[in-house]
Amino acid sequence: MPTLYLRIRFLRAGFALPLLLTAMLPFLLRPSAGHAGTLPVAVDGQPLPSLAPMLAQVMPAVVNINSKTRVRVRNPLMEDPFFRQFFGMPDMPRERIEQSLGSGVIIDAAKGYVLTNNHVIAGADDIAVTLHDGRTLKAHVVGTDSDTDIAVIRIPAENLSALPLADSSRLRVGDFVVALGDPFGIGQTVTSGIVSALNRSGLRGLGYQNFIQTDASINPGNSGGALVNLRGELVGINSAIYSPSGGNVGIGFAIPSNLAGQVMRQLIATGTVAHGSLGISAQDITPDIAAALGVNAGSGALVTRVRRGSPAAAAGVAPGDVVTSVDGKPVRGAGDLVNAQGILPVGSTVRLDLLRDGKTMHAETRLDADKLASAEGGKVDARLRGAQLSEVDPNARRDGLAGVRVDRVAGGSRAQDNGLKPGDLIVGVDQVDVAGLNDLRGLLAHYPRRVLLSVVRGRNALFVPLR
């Protein structure tokens, strides 16, 4: 992508000095009596402010993550038995190894749970975690959620340090924060800055969004690392940067600890995450639609369908209504409405502000779990036996892709033998698009022997042959 355009960069691969320090600079630069040319350890009897004591407690809980993914390389000649036999080539698929670096945060020292970004470990075959003390441990995946870009992995719980989770709802713009991680794979690094903005959303391709924006220097490799307050508490998980060049320009984004903790608890308990849903389909308000409805373009989301028996139906929401806010937060379009549902806890009470025939209305209801279809893979096709499948909401995905997600794969199952992995998104069968389970079931029925699935795994698109 040309560098003329700003773009969101995932970070796989500053705390500005307090005003007190700035005011003290003339004193810091003045030589002290008897120690010409050296800085004093105190001014007027007060020790110089330093983050070192806090960081000494925090840094052991921040880890480096190295993930390796084996990607099959499809070569038509290599799939021809005659060609392999003629040239004496082994009967095995060709593979390449892809490696990525990121960061993580230990959040339970007793059980070895590590919080990180989904895109750091998505589709990985091997995950190695390097601790602050130099130990490298093998990790396994507890659960992932691509919609919020959160993952939980587990390492052996031996002499670990963990970070406490802060209440991120108490953050204010201007609060000092510190980012820790492994930028560019050079080793654990600390940078500092302030909270630049809160509740950032509307960023293309980033799933459910409620970001903390910070000017703390964040770069590729910081993904999954910690954003902490001055008490050494975790307030966010570093996730992405907004950059024209791929490097830091002072606009970084972190997933709030409240959202990360909510997702983490579900992943530890069940391995999956239930996101909220009002049962509404909606679209953006274009200028033509705005003129027809007598509303402002780009303000609100137009309800196009209300699922029968859904929370929205129970609250009296109807097609043609315009949702202008959720819990007092303005809705600028359909993406804001999807985002608001996805980040609120299932079961929470939601207040909707609506426009109907030019009149303002209010509705209140409870958020249900998203009821997108799911199925055991063996009931879709025998070659998928052992996989748990579910449909995805393309509006909630960072890449906007529709398809069928592989939530779990049983060890030793036929799905595992066929090369499927948790987190895979099946988007096609023999290059025919798949929008949901019915499409997948119907297309596989036409290919009873061998077929190629088009799969998105992390940042890679690949073919997976089903036998």
Catalytic residue numbers, as ranges:
119, 149, 223
The three-state secondary structure class of 425 is strand
CA 121 from chain centre, in angstroms, equals 11
b/e map 137-150, b = 16+ CB within 10 Å: bebebbbbbbbbbb
Residue 450 CB-density burial (10 A; 0-12 exposed, 13-18 middle, 19+ buried):
exposed
The three-state secondary structure class of 46 is strand
Q: Look up residue 378 and give its two tokens.
A: 């063996």
Nearest-10 Cα torsion for 208, 214, 219, 221 = -50
Q: Look up residue 242 and give its two tokens.
A: 């907004």
Phi then psi dihedrals of residue 411, to 5 deg: -65, 135
Q: Indicate if the alpha-carbon torsion angle 348, 141, 407, 429 is positive or negative.
A: positive
Phi then psi dihedrals of residue 194, to 5 deg: -130, 170
- How far apart, in Å, do the first and last CA atoms of the chain sit? 37
For residue 215, the tally of other CB atoms under 10 A from its CB is 22
- Residue 81, sorted as left (phi over 0), alpha (psi -120 to 50) or beta, turns out to be alpha
- Would you report the helix, strand and coil content of the chain in percent, each value rounded to 5? 20, 35, 45
* Chain position carrying tokens 């940078």: 191
DSSP assignment of 129-198: EE-TTS-EEEEEEEEEETTTTEEEEE---SS---PPBP-GGG--TT-EEEEEE-GGGS--EEEEEEEEEE
- Residue 298, sorted as left (phi over 0), alpha (psi -120 to 50) or beta, turns out to be left
